[in-house]
């Protein structure tokens, strides 16, 4: 009986997916996306899936999608059993209605990052400023609750609001394209260093800019969770970003 049970545990997963064709579809030729693609291939191979790295014209049952452009193309195609996607910054903004489409966030929600920082530093409550460009304000307001964050709006550059930021001890860096322009980002962090400001973010790449607290995604965990979703039907359509411990 024990041998039969072990046989089922080991071999059933391979049998279940033998008829499912899984495709990885990546729209970004950048290091983070390529790293995730390699990890997805490794996990799929280890678990015995029939998979390939596809183009939009491939005939696949399940798509593991990296990036917003790839996701939109597959959604328009419409001929699939399931999509599991990531590398979409603000998935709620796409208003996806289909039930068989699941996303995993590529960065932790800002509240989760602040709570993780407070727990690490044993803080009860902190006031966190967030520089936001006027164009990004409607999106930012949905992700930055006033319980934790104070949004400070600028037109072209965060330097416009340095006089307001200097009154805060903590600044959260939101994925705002204007903030993330290299010149703006360097100026912001240099200003913060001169004034004792602690920077927090959920954006992995900002480790290269010496940000104080980076609550970063784990690509290894992300790859595993994407593959697990091939056979799962969670209630949530958008799942939390898996982070490094």
Residues 87 and 60 in one domain: yes
Q: ∠111-112-118 over CA atoms, to 5°?
A: 90
Asked if residue 245 belongs to a domain, the reply is: no
Domain residue limits at 62: 2-106+218-239
Is residue 17's pLDDT more than 70? no
Q: Report the pLDDT value the prediction gives residue 6, as an integer from 0 to 100.
A: 33
Do 37 and 63 contact (CB within 8 A), yes or no?
no
Asked if residue 11 belongs to a domain, the reply is: yes
Is residue 10's pLDDT more than 80? no
Residues 102 and 6 in one domain: yes
Asked if residue 208 belongs to a domain, the reply is: yes
Residues 133 and 118 in one domain: yes
Residues 93 and 124 in one domain: no
Residues 100 and 116 in one domain: no
Q: Report the pLDDT value the prediction gives residue 56, as an integer from 0 to 100.
A: 63
Residue 216: helix, strand or coil by DSSP?
coil
Q: 134-189 pLDDT, tens per residue?
A: 999 999 999 999 999 999 999 999 999 999 999 999 999 999 999 999 999 999 99
Asked if residue 120 belongs to a domain, the reply is: yes
Residues 223 and 203 in one domain: no
Asked if residue 172 belongs to a domain, the reply is: yes
Number of domains in the chain: 2
Asked if residue 72 belongs to a domain, the reply is: yes
Asked if residue 35 belongs to a domain, the reply is: yes
Asked if residue 146 belongs to a domain, the reply is: yes
Distance CA 175, CA 244 (A): 19
Angle between helices 219-228 and 31-46 (to 10 degrees): 50
Do 131 and 188 contact (CB within 8 A), yes or no?
yes
Who contacts 76 (Cβ-Cβ below 8 Å, separation ≥6)?
none
CATH of the domain at 166: 3.40.50.2300
Return the bridge partners of 10, or none: none
Residues 8 and 30 in one domain: yes
Residues 102 and 129 in one domain: no
Residues 178 and 85 in one domain: no
């Amino acid at each position: 009986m024990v041998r039969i049970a072990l046989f089922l545990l080991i071999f059933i997963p391979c049998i279940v997916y033998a008829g499912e064709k899984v495709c990885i579809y990546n729209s970004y030729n950048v290091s983070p996306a390529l790293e995730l693609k390699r990890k997805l291939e490794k996990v799929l191979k280890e678990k015995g899936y029939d998979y390939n790295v596809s183009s939009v014209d491939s005939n696949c049952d399940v798509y593991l999608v990296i990036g917003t452009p790839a996701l939109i193309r597959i959604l328009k195609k419409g001929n699939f059993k399931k999509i599991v996607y990531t590398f979409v910054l603000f998935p709620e903004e796409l208003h996806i209605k289909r039930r068989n489409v699941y996303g995993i966030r590529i960065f932790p929600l800002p509240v989760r990052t602040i709570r993780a920082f407070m727990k690490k530093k044993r803080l009860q409550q902190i006031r966190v400023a967030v520089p936001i460009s006027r164009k990004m304000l409607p999106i930012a307001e949905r992700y930055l609750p006033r319980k934790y964050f104070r949004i400070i709006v600028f037109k072209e550059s965060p330097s416009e609001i340095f006089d307001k930021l200097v009154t805060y001890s903590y600044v959260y860096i939101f994925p705002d394209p204007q903030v993330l322009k290299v010149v703006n980002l360097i100026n912001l962090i240099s200003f913060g260093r001169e004034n004792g400001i602690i920077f927090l973010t959920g954006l992995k790449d900002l480790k290269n800019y010496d940000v104080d607290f980076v609550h970063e995604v784990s690509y290894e965990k992300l790859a595993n969770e994407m593959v697990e979703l091939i056979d799962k039907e969670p209630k949530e359509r958008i799942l939390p970003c898996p982070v490094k411990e």
